[in-house]
Amino acid sequence: MTDYVIAIDGGGTSCRAAVADRAGRVVGRGMRGAANIFSRSDAISESIVAASLAALEQAAIDVSRISGIPAFLGLAGLNVGMRQEQLAAELPFSDTRFAHDGIIALQGALGDGDGVIAILGTGSAYVARAAGEVRSAGGWGFAVGDQASGAVIGRMLLQQTLLARDGIRPMTPLASAVMTRFGDEQQAVVEFTQSAKPADYGSFAPMIFTFDAKGDPMAAGIIAEAVGDITETLDAMVFEGCERLCLLGGLAEKYGERLAPRHRAILRAPLGDPLSGAVQLALRAFLPAAAVAPDGMERR
Amino acid sequence: MTDYVIAIDGGGTSCRAAVADRAGRVVGRGMRGAANIFSRSDAISESIVAASLAALEQAAIDVSRISGIPAFLGLAGLNVGMRQEQLAAELPFSDTRFAHDGIIALQGALGDGDGVIAILGTGSAYVARAAGEVRSAGGWGFAVGDQASGAVIGRMLLQQTLLARDGIRPMTPLASAVMTRFGDEQQAVVEFTQSAKPADYGSFAPMIFTFDAKGDPMAAGIIAEAVGDITETLDAMVFEGCERLCLLGGLAEKYGERLAPRHRAILRAPLGDPLSGAVQLALRAFLPAAAVAPDGMERR
């Protein structure tokens, strides 16, 4: 039996790895660039391997042992297609199991308990566990989903800025600040969109909250629409008797304080992060004898 | 001096060419695939050349004469960047001049008169001419513009269908029909978006109007939002005393009947199509002696 397991949290903007030992302790961590399964698959496996090697190094484990260690991968975009087999074949681990990043986030935030999580980062997705049954919503990507995500509100900002610059909507300080970033050239905005990835659009999200705090009406409108989208989805996901709602991702705090009272009332801090959820699931999958505490970090 | 001019209407979904003689008569026409300047530039020049050669053939003009004929190009996406020089170098014409496709559309629809045009096809854009002054709005592309276009409402349809399938919004007959097209697999929708171009999203636009006619609430909601976007822009573009509003593009008829009364009151049929506008502008640029009738098709 293996002495170690590797756990991976591969999101849209970074890939994090942890190595845990037979006692369930995390003994090393590593991080690398994006591991979104939408991206080129060789770039994904590169990120996963690099983060894993960094974690092994931190744990002072000989990196050549990687081929004898099994890995549990929580990956963004996994609901798309059957690329797992190809990816598993490219990876050096002794055994490779996959889960949607929502599943490791749920496990990290709620342990084995019931509740709802909303992941609000570069993308967006929702997962609920009720009486042990898991169901998800969203997570369909930037083009036709990811409502309220950093990427989608960043795109809304560029759309509304162009409308303001065309004289169709009122110019606001936020729209002016965006145009200044593009040298006041609408064409520069459009050229940006020719190659922009979700994370590039998401880089405009912080401005929206900064200008909202100063009363900018365009910022307020974008945030109101985003909060409306979140509220609509939470109303469909929060089940009778649900006592825990956790918001995760880079925009969790900003949106948390703006939720409807019925949702704020059940808002709780997550028990752990998605990587800790991946560690719990890795230990359960590959070292079932190891009893794991809810945060995945310690043996009971 | 040249005996002929070539006029090009290069839109997002097709490229049309016309050859006109010294008398201003169109003597040949040709058509080929897309010439959106957003696309790979060699594909654009290929489409333009192929359409031009077809027009020369139809006119029974030796195709080897193409290098002695000047061309006036109206191209979608021309507001993006300075790719004209590169494109001109790739093209075989004796002289090459460019205009935004909105300019040839304006000339075709209104001749030399004042008024407003709204181009509502795969993309969307607006051009106004008031007291001879031309200004435009929109045309910023699928990612951050093109409100109410076929591509944008097609994308809205996929977004809202996924929300319905996730149980967040009510399922409707239209959303069911979309899911049926994707084998009832949400993942298939997301995979479609990985490579879908604006025209691919636009292929869903006709369904929206078909189901709206049957009272589908999702269809009605999407159309109401699109008509709201059009109305907002027309209110900014229609000037004091404006007596002509022309809608062009594949969705012109559908939207025309849904406009606000103040806009319907000035709605007129276009005098000619964008290609006829390009012919007028080609004759004016390269054969200024030729007096051209407003429809660009005949010498006065």
Note whether A162 contacts B141, CB cutoff 8 Å.
Answer: no
A109 confidence band (pLDDT: 50, 70, 90) = very high
In a shared domain, residues B120 and B219: yes
What's the whole-number mean pLDDT along residues A105-123? 95
* For A80, nearest residue in chain B (alpha carbons): B187
- Domain membership flag for residue A300: no
The H or E element containing residue A254 is helix A252-256
The DSSP code sequence of B156-199 is HHHHHHHHHHTTSS---HHHHHHHHHTTT-HHHHHHHHHH--HH
Q: Which of A81, A145, A189 sits opposite B144 (nearest CB)?
A: A189
Q: Which of B167, B191, B232 sits opposite A137 (nearest CB)?
A: B167
Q: Which of B79, B144, B163 sits opposite A155 (nearest CB)?
A: B144
Query: Is B294 a residue whose pLDDT tops 60?
Result: no
Range of the domain at B159: 114-270
Rounded Cα distance, A153 and A161, in Å: 12
B7 confidence band (pLDDT: 50, 70, 90) = very high
Q: Which residues of B touch A194 (CB under 8 A)?
A: 38, 80
What is the side-by-side order of every strand in the sheet holding B245-248? Answer: B133-138, B124-130, B115-120, B245-248
The string of pLDDT tens digits covering residues B22-65 is: 998 999 999 987 655 555 666 788 889 999 999 999 999 999 99
Residues 6+ apart with CB under 8 A from A89: none
Lowest mean pLDDT among A123-127, B288-292, B295-299: B295-299
Query: Is A83 a residue whose pLDDT tops 70?
Result: yes
CB B294 within 8 A of CB B272: yes
SS3 B253: helix
CA geometry: angle B279, B280, B283, nearest 5 deg: 85
What's the whole-number mean pLDDT along residues A190-211? 94
The DSSP code sequence of B214-251 is TT-HHHHHHHHHHHHHHHHHHHHHPPTT---EEEESTT
The shortest C-alpha distance from B118 to chain A (Å) reads 14
Chain B residues within 8 angstroms (CB to CB) of chain A: 38, 79-81, 137-138, 140-141, 143-145, 147, 155, 158-159, 162-163, 166-169, 186-187, 189-191, 193-194, 196, 232-233, 236
- How confident is the model at residue A270, as a pLDDT? 96
In a shared domain, residues A123 and A251: yes
- Domain membership flag for residue A291: no
Query: Is A110 a residue whose pLDDT tops 90?
Result: yes
- Domain membership flag for residue B8: yes
Q: Is the alpha carbon torsion for A288, A290, A291, A293 positive or negative?
A: negative
In a shared domain, residues A47 and A85: yes
In a shared domain, residues A265 and A278: no
The string of pLDDT tens digits covering residues A1-44 is: 679 999 999 876 689 999 999 998 999 999 987 655 555 666 78
The shortest C-alpha distance from A219 to chain B (Å) reads 16
Q: Which of A168, A191, A193 sits opposite B233 (nearest CB)?
A: A168
The shortest C-alpha distance from B117 to chain A (Å) reads 15
Mutate to test the interface with B, among A126, A147, A166 (most CBs of B within 10 A): A166
What's the whole-number mean pLDDT along residues A276-284? 96
The string of pLDDT tens digits covering residues A140-159 is: 989 999 999 999 999 999 99
What's the whole-number mean pLDDT along residues A271-297? 80
User: And the tokens for B142?
Assistant: 């699928």
Measured in degrees and rounded to the nearest 5, phi and psi for residue A257 equal -75, -10
In a shared domain, residues A103 and A121: no
Q: What is the 3-state secondary structure (H, E, C) of B50-70?
A: HHHHHHHHHCCCCHHHHHHCC
A223 confidence band (pLDDT: 50, 70, 90) = very high
- Domain membership flag for residue B295: no
- Domain membership flag for residue A297: no
Rounded Cα distance, B153 and B111, in Å: 30
In a shared domain, residues B206 and B94: no
B2 confidence band (pLDDT: 50, 70, 90) = confident
In a shared domain, residues B50 and B71: yes
- The bridge status of strand A133-138 relative to strand A124-130 is antiparallel
Rounded Cα distance, A135 and B248, in Å: 45
Which ipTM score applies to this complex?
0.84
Q: Return the higher-pLDDT residue of B15 and B222.
A: B222
A299 confidence band (pLDDT: 50, 70, 90) = very low
What is the side-by-side order of every strand in the sheet holding A133-138? Answer: A133-138, A124-130, A115-120, A245-248
Query: Is A84 a residue whose pLDDT tops 90?
Result: no
In a shared domain, residues A29 and A150: no
The tally of domains found in chain B comes to 2
- Domain membership flag for residue B276: yes
The string of pLDDT tens digits covering residues A173-186 is: 999 999 999 999 99
Q: Taking all residues of chain A, what is their mean pLDDT, rounded to a whole number?
A: 90
Q: Which of B144, B163, B167 sits opposite A193 (nearest CB)?
A: B144
The shortest C-alpha distance from B72 to chain A (Å) reads 22
Note whether A190 contacts B166, CB cutoff 8 Å.
Answer: no
Note whether B193 contacts A159, CB cutoff 8 Å.
Answer: no
In a shared domain, residues A85 and A232: no
Rounded Cα distance, B182 and B187, in Å: 9
CB A54 within 8 A of CB A37: no
Note whether A81 contacts B141, CB cutoff 8 Å.
Answer: no
Q: Which residues of B touch A138 (CB under 8 A)?
A: 166
Mutate to test the interface with A, among B140, B153, B231 (most CBs of A within 10 A): B140
In a shared domain, residues B173 and B65: no
- Domain membership flag for residue A293: no
CB A84 within 8 A of CB A78: yes
- How confident is the model at residue A295, as a pLDDT? 46
Note whether B144 contacts A169, CB cutoff 8 Å.
Answer: no
- Domain membership flag for residue A53: yes
Note whether A159 contacts B166, CB cutoff 8 Å.
Answer: no
In a shared domain, residues B61 and B146: no
CATH number of the domain to which B211 belongs: 3.30.420.40
Q: Which residues of A touch B163 (CB under 8 A)?
A: 147
In a shared domain, residues B67 and B203: no
The shortest C-alpha distance from B145 to chain A (Å) reads 6
A298 confidence band (pLDDT: 50, 70, 90) = very low
Q: Which residues of A touch B130 (CB under 8 A)?
A: none
Q: Which of B79, B138, B168 sits opposite A232 (nearest CB)?
A: B168
Question: Cα separations (Å) of A17 from A68, B125, B138?
Answer: 16, 48, 45
